[in-house]
Chain A
Amino acid sequence: MKILVPVKRVVDYNVKVRVKSDGTGVDIANVKMSMNPFDEIAVEEAVRLKEAGVATEVVAVSAGVAGCQETLRTAMAIGADRGILVETDAELQPLAVAKLLKALVDKEQPRVVILGKQAIDDDANQTGQMLAALLDWPQATFASKVVIAGDRATVTREVDGGLETLEIPLPAVITTDLRLNEPRYATLPNIMKAKKKPLDTVKPADFGVDVAPRLKTLKVAEPAKRQAGVKVADVADLVAKLKNEAKVI
């Protein structure tokens, strides 16, 4: 069984991002980039499935600039067998990525696609769902446990009220939540081997996919700074302020 793992290159979670002065976006020039942490969990899960003998091959895929090769190498250092980069400098929105992934699925014919539930840069939380729709496959999102047996996957999902367990037939799309697993630290021999694993580069045009953005970003702004608070004399004062000034009760 082949597993496809889409990984996104994002601003490293340690970086404190800055909004560009013209308000068109976040300044990512000269900023440390790394793999979206949710996708790292997806790679780890796929590699564990391979180590458990459930999967036979793990293919990491990414879409974006040439620098995404590093992200794919990271996935291969964790244990993915090979990588495919759909290289483009264009802005990629979730629908475009989902279309590219569908084309890759058509080509690679995996039984399962595992990807992060969302990326920490845009927090869209759409790609997995859109991909499932385009493929007309079942989907199990926000997975905190995945068991694959035969032609079915049993997936425990993190939902608002607690946990929900779904059983879905394969092929299917699974998106990962934080508690699914704790990704390993890549070993030095595997980092070195990753460099020698195959990495193919293709272009969106090779699949005939139009990646032009459908949404327009109007403005990106920093959250408003927190205002200084005021001291209240007693509970009555607090209640009065909440009622009359804040008007929340």
Chain B
Amino acid sequence: MSEYIAPVRDMQFVLKELAGLEQVSKLPGCEEATPDLVDAILEEAAKFAEGVLSPLNIPGDQEGAKWHDKQVTMPKGFKEAYAQFVENGWSALACEPEFGGQGLPKVVNACVTEMWKSANHAFSLCPLLTTGAIEALVLAGSDELKATYLEKMVSGVWTGTMNLTEPNAGSDLAAVRTKAEPQADGTYKIFGQKIFITYGEHDMADNLVHLVLARTPTAPEGVKGISLFVVPKFMVNADGSLGARNDAWCVSIEHKLGIHASPTAVMAYGDHGGAVGYLVGQENRGLEYMFIMMNAARFGVGLEGVADGERAYQRAVTYAKDRIQGTDVGVRGGGKVAIINHPDVRRMLMSMRSQVEATRALAYVVGAAHDAAVHHPDPEARKQNQAFVDLMIPVVKGWSTEVGVDVATTGVQVHGGMGFIEETGAAQHLRDVRISTIYEGTTGIQANDLIGRKMAREGGATIKAVIGMMRRLDADLAEQSGGKNGEHFAAIRQRFAAGVNELEKAAEWIVANYAKDVRATSVGAVPFLWLFGIVAGGWQMARAALVAQAKIDGGDSDPFFPAKIVTARFFADHQLTRAQGLATTVIEGASGALALDESMF
């Protein structure tokens, strides 16, 4: 059986060499995050993920969260693990120091979050949702709300939830119907039903703080009439102690394909007279607040693609080394060998490895840009970084999770028939990661956001700048093409340059045609997101290969570096080469997709 080992070496490499941890630690407010401290944090987080969270992953999946009498019992061990998680201060890592957080950079939080998710995807959702709720309160909450809730949420003693979805308001939040009736004392009474509420009820915390989207009686129709409310499970007394039970109840939990240990609640508000809610910010601006923090949530879900992919890869490698089957291809009369010796199994493992490394590299680079967008002293640099982050978030979310599904399904394939049997654990990663392309905005929603709001609206200015950055790598790749690993670098250079050209062609087509023919560009949206992800991932892998070569040339004998170059080469040959096909699909794909009359389906 495979045990999760946090990939600290690759994380450190990406942090230091690609995401620029040193520059991040020079940003005002990030000074504590020196590389040696970050190393220590990664080591200790790895111990916690490997020693506490990972052992609960399979039992948690098998037992699942259980609902009874409007309460949820978590699988065995989860309550204790969460208590330890809180006691050890992990929930406060990236939160504001003002409310008891450690204020560490987002990019460091990304590494640690990846570990929690690899070790136990279902567990990791509780702190992820709490962080989202904290950000909403920090952003828009009144001083009173902040004083009442934030410290307990930052420490993790209370957990948070995000209540957006209703039976008829999924991706289309304009359809939210939950009501909020203003009361004489300035509070509101909330009435309505919310579904798909992750950790909407559980037994790991004394209190839950629900953030709920609802409409006031005077609200305009559509997205401009939605407000955001805090609805605590238990009312909080003036002295901070817990008071009466609020009228917010979990009436059932869902039976799901994966993340069985994460309770997905159906929440009923106001069935017994009205749930007390407190307005966050101003009326009718709820969705706006949600969208600001949505970036962070989408980034977090993007990391699930990396994390489940990493876990699936580790399990597949263990199995492939262990499973003896067949003889070496092309060898007559040889003995039986482990399946890792079979070329197709190698191809699958390299496909998993290279995609995990590429998605990780891109995610951390975007994480570091997020830190610069918040903390950089120069307003122009902040603006540029924010534009980069805004452009890349749908790619990190959409592409990494789609890749995560591909990697996890390849992991099942490596196991052969045993991958289809639950006891190897390979199937769980596929079942768990499958939600990541759906929640916090499906891949389709991400792709529409990318081509519309993030590209067409600004005439493609940011993506053009990014393409320019990609092209600046060519000189270094050309130089290395004559070096010791010249064959690898020449291939990487050729495939990457071709990929960038395809990306540019497709991006230009989208920007030129979005206003004229939004239906056609929308058909190409998801293929374009894939194309962008692959080329951006190839960009980071090419950068990684160049750093690795520089280390080798500097006399470093760490086998990590030659392996990185080979992995970048594999990515170039097996992923970047898909760019041309995807670009064709983006530009030509609408004709077939939209031609049939609805009655023909």
Contact = CB atoms under 8 A, between A and B. Distances in A.
B62 interface: no
B43 A34 contact: yes
A191 B44 contact: yes
B89 A77 contact: no
A194 B36 CA distance: 11
B459 to A, nearest CB: 44
Contact of B40 (A14, A29, A74): A74
A185 B87 CA distance: 10
Interface residues of A, number: 19
B48 A185 contact: yes
Given A30-B560, A195-B37, A188 B43 contact: no
B580 interface: no
A187 B156 CA distance: 14
Contact of B36 (A32, A77, A195): A195
A138 to B, nearest CB: 34
A19 interface: no
A70 interface: yes
A185 B560 contact: no
Contacts of B87: 187
Contacts of A30: 557-560
Given A30-B557, A30-B558, A77-B44, A187 B89 contact: yes
Contacts of A14: 5
B88 A185 contact: yes
A190 B102 CA distance: 11
A84 B442 CA distance: 54
Interface string A175-187: 0000000000111
A73 interface: yes
A185 B40 contact: no
A14 B51 CA distance: 13
A192 interface: yes
A161 interface: no
Contacts, number: 55
Contacts of B328: none
Main secondary structure of the interface of B (DSSP, over half): helix
Nearest to A190: B89
B37 A191 contact: yes
Contact of A188 (B36, B39, B88, B558): B88
B411 to A, nearest CB: 21
B388 interface: no
Contacts of A74: 40, 43
Which of B39, B40, B41, B90: most chain A Cβ within 10 A? B40
B52 interface: yes
Interface in B3-49: 5, 8-9, 32, 34, 36-37, 39-41, 43-44, 47-48
A66 to B, nearest CB: 12
A29 B560 CA distance: 12
Interface string B37-73: 1011101100110011000000000000000000000
Interface residues of B, number: 28
Contacts of B9: 32
A72 to B, nearest CB: 11
A194 B93 contact: no
Interface in A19-51: 29-30, 32, 34
B457 to A, nearest CB: 40
A42 B44 CA distance: 18
Contacts of A223: none
Nearest to B92: A188
Contacts of A32: 8-9
A61 B37 CA distance: 20
B44 A186 contact: yes
Contacts of B557: 29-30
A188 B47 CA distance: 12
B29 to A, nearest CB: 15
Nearest to B44: A186
B84 interface: yes
A189 interface: yes
A189 B87 CA distance: 10
Nearest to A30: B558
Contacts of A188: 41, 44, 88-90, 92-93, 102
Contact of A192 (B8, B32, B51, B558): B32
Contacts of B47: 185
Nearest to B93: A188
B40 A189 contact: no
A185 B44 contact: yes
B336 to A, nearest CB: 13
Interface in A165-208: 185-192, 194-195
A196 to B, nearest CB: 10
Interface string A194-231: 11000000000000000000000000000000000000
A14 B5 CA distance: 9
Contacts of B40: 70, 73-74, 77, 191, 194-195
A77 B92 CA distance: 17
A192 B47 CA distance: 16
A189 B102 contact: yes
Nearest to B3: A14
A108 to B, nearest CB: 25
A73 B37 CA distance: 9
A70 B37 contact: no
Contacts of B93: 188
Nearest to B9: A32
B102 A186 contact: no
A187 B88 contact: yes
A233 B5 CA distance: 44
A192 B44 contact: no
Nearest to A195: B37
Given A30-B559, A74-B43, A191-B44, A185 B84 contact: yes
Given A188-B90, A191-B37, 4 more contacts: A14-B5, A29-B557, A185-B88, A187-B89
Interface of A: 14, 29-30, 32, 34, 70, 73-74, 77, 185-192, 194-195
* For the complex of A and B, 4 pairs with smallest distance between CB atoms: A188-B89, A30-B558, A187-B88, A187-B89
15 contacts: A29-B557, A30-B557, A32-B9, A70-B39, A185-B44, A185-B48, A185-B52, A185-B84, A188-B89, A188-B90, A188-B93, A189-B102, A190-B89, A191-B37, A191-B40
